[in-house]
Chain A
Amino acid sequence: MLVNWPMLIQQVVNGLTVGCLYALIAIGYTMVYGILRLINFAHGDIFMMAMYFAFFGITVFLIPWWAVMPLVVVVTTALGVLIEQAAYKPLREAPRISLLISAIGVSYLLENLATVLFTGIPRSFPSVPHFTEMVIVGQVRIQWLGFWVPLIVLALVVGLMFIVHRTKTGMGMRAVSKDMETAKLMGVHINRIIATTFGIGSALAAVGAMLWGMKYPQMQPYVGVMPGLKCFIAAVIGGIGNITGAIIGGILLGLLEILIVYFFPGLSGYKDAFAFIALILILLLKPTGLMGEVVTDKV
Chain B
Amino acid sequence: MSILRCENLVMRFGGVTAVDDFSPHVDPGEIVAVIGPNGAGKTTAFNMITGVYKPASGRVFLEQDGQVTMRDITGMRPDRVAALGIARTFQNIRLFKSQTVLENVLIACHVRVRSGLFGAEISWPRYYLEERAMRERAMALLERVGLQDAAGEMATSLPYGKQRRLEIARALATQPKLLLLDEPAAGMNPKETEDLTRFVYDLRGQMNLAVLMIEHHMQIVMDISDRIYVLDYGRTIAQGTAAAVQANPAVIEAYLGVEEA
Chain A–chain B contact at Cβ < 8 A = yes
Give chain A's interface residues, CB within 8 Å of chain B: 294, 296, 299
Q: Is the interface of B mostly helix, strand, loop or mixed?
A: loop
Q: Are B13 and A299 in contact, with the CB atoms below 8 A?
A: no
Residue of A whose beta carbon sits closest to that of B14: A294
Q: How far is the CB of B249 from chain A (nearest CB, A)?
A: 33
Interface presence of B17 (CB below 8 A):
no
List, in ascending order, chain B residues with CB within 8 A of A299's CB: 43, 47, 52-53, 90
Residue of B whose beta carbon sits closest to that of A296: B13
Complex CA gap A296/B43 in Å reads: 14
Complex CA gap A299/B50 in Å reads: 12
Q: How far is the CB of A98 from chain B (nearest CB, A)?
A: 16
Residue of B whose beta carbon sits closest to that of A293: B14
Residue of A whose beta carbon sits closest to that of B52: A299
Residue of A whose beta carbon sits closest to that of B182: A299
Residue of A whose beta carbon sits closest to that of B50: A299
List, in ascending order, chain A residues with CB within 8 A of B52's CB: 299
Complex CA gap A294/B53 in Å reads: 13
Complex CA gap A299/B91 in Å reads: 9
Complex CA gap A113/B14 in Å reads: 47
Complex CA gap A296/B90 in Å reads: 17
Residue of A whose beta carbon sits closest to that of B78: A299
Complex CA gap A296/B52 in Å reads: 10
In chain B between 10 and 54, which residues have their CB closer than 8 angstroms to a CB of chain A? 13-14, 43, 47, 52-53
Residue of A whose beta carbon sits closest to that of B13: A296
Q: How far is the CB of B76 from chain A (nearest CB, A)?
A: 16
Complex CA gap A294/B14 in Å reads: 8
List, in ascending order, chain B residues with CB within 8 A of A296's CB: 13, 53
List, in ascending order, chain A residues with CB within 8 A of B13's CB: 296
Q: Known pairs A299-B47, A299-B52; list 6 more (Cβ under 8 Å).
A: A294-B14, A296-B13, A296-B53, A299-B43, A299-B53, A299-B90
Residue of A whose beta carbon sits closest to that of B90: A299
Q: How far is the CB of A212 from chain B (nearest CB, A)?
A: 39
List, in ascending order, chain A residues with CB within 8 A of B14's CB: 294
Residue of A whose beta carbon sits closest to that of B43: A299
Complex CA gap A82/B56 in Å reads: 47
Complex CA gap A294/B13 in Å reads: 9
List, in ascending order, chain A residues with CB within 8 A of B90's CB: 299
**4 A-B pairs closest in CB distance:** A299-B52, A299-B47, A296-B13, A299-B90
List, in ascending order, chain B residues with CB within 8 A of A294's CB: 14
Q: How far is the CB of B225 from chain A (nearest CB, A)?
A: 24
Q: How far is the CB of B217 from chain A (nearest CB, A)?
A: 22
Could you list 8 examples of A-B contacts with CB < 8 Å?
A: A294-B14, A296-B13, A296-B53, A299-B43, A299-B47, A299-B52, A299-B53, A299-B90
List, in ascending order, chain A residues with CB within 8 A of B43's CB: 299
Complex CA gap A153/B14 in Å reads: 34
Complex CA gap A199/B20 in Å reads: 46
Residue of A whose beta carbon sits closest to that of B94: A299
Q: How far is the CB of A96 from chain B (nearest CB, A)?
A: 16
In chain B between 167 and 185, which residues have their CB closer than 8 angstroms to a CB of chain A? none
Q: How far is the CB of B166 from chain A (nearest CB, A)?
A: 19
Complex CA gap A296/B54 in Å reads: 11
In chain B between 85 and 100, which residues have their CB closer than 8 angstroms to a CB of chain A? 90
Complex CA gap A299/B53 in Å reads: 9
Complex CA gap A294/B43 in Å reads: 20
Complex CA gap A245/B195 in Å reads: 55
Complex CA gap A121/B13 in Å reads: 55
Q: How far is the CB of A292 from chain B (nearest CB, A)?
A: 14
List, in ascending order, chain A residues with CB within 8 A of B53's CB: 296, 299
Q: How far is the CB of B222 from chain A (nearest CB, A)?
A: 28
Q: How far is the CB of B93 from chain A (nearest CB, A)?
A: 12
Complex CA gap A262/B20 in Å reads: 53
Residue of A whose beta carbon sits closest to that of B11: A296
Complex CA gap A231/B40 in Å reads: 43
Q: How far is the CB of A51 from chain B (nearest CB, A)?
A: 43
Complex CA gap A299/B52 in Å reads: 8
Complex CA gap A294/B54 in Å reads: 14
Q: How far is the CB of A4 from chain B (nearest CB, A)?
A: 49
Q: How far is the CB of A178 from chain B (nearest CB, A)?
A: 13
Complex CA gap A296/B47 in Å reads: 12
Residue of B whose beta carbon sits closest to that of A294: B14
Q: How far is the CB of B253 from chain A (nearest CB, A)?
A: 29
Residue of B whose beta carbon sits closest to that of A297: B52
Complex CA gap A299/B54 in Å reads: 13
Q: How far is the CB of B245 from chain A (nearest CB, A)?
A: 27
Chain B, residues 50-71, CB within 8 Å of chain A (1/0): the string is: 0011000000000000000000
In chain B between 202 and 234, which residues have their CB closer than 8 angstroms to a CB of chain A? none
Q: How far is the CB of A291 from chain B (nearest CB, A)?
A: 16
Complex CA gap A69/B90 in Å reads: 56
Complex CA gap A294/B90 in Å reads: 24
Q: How far is the CB of A24 from chain B (nearest CB, A)?
A: 32
Complex CA gap A296/B12 in Å reads: 11
Q: How far is the CB of A5 from chain B (nearest CB, A)?
A: 47
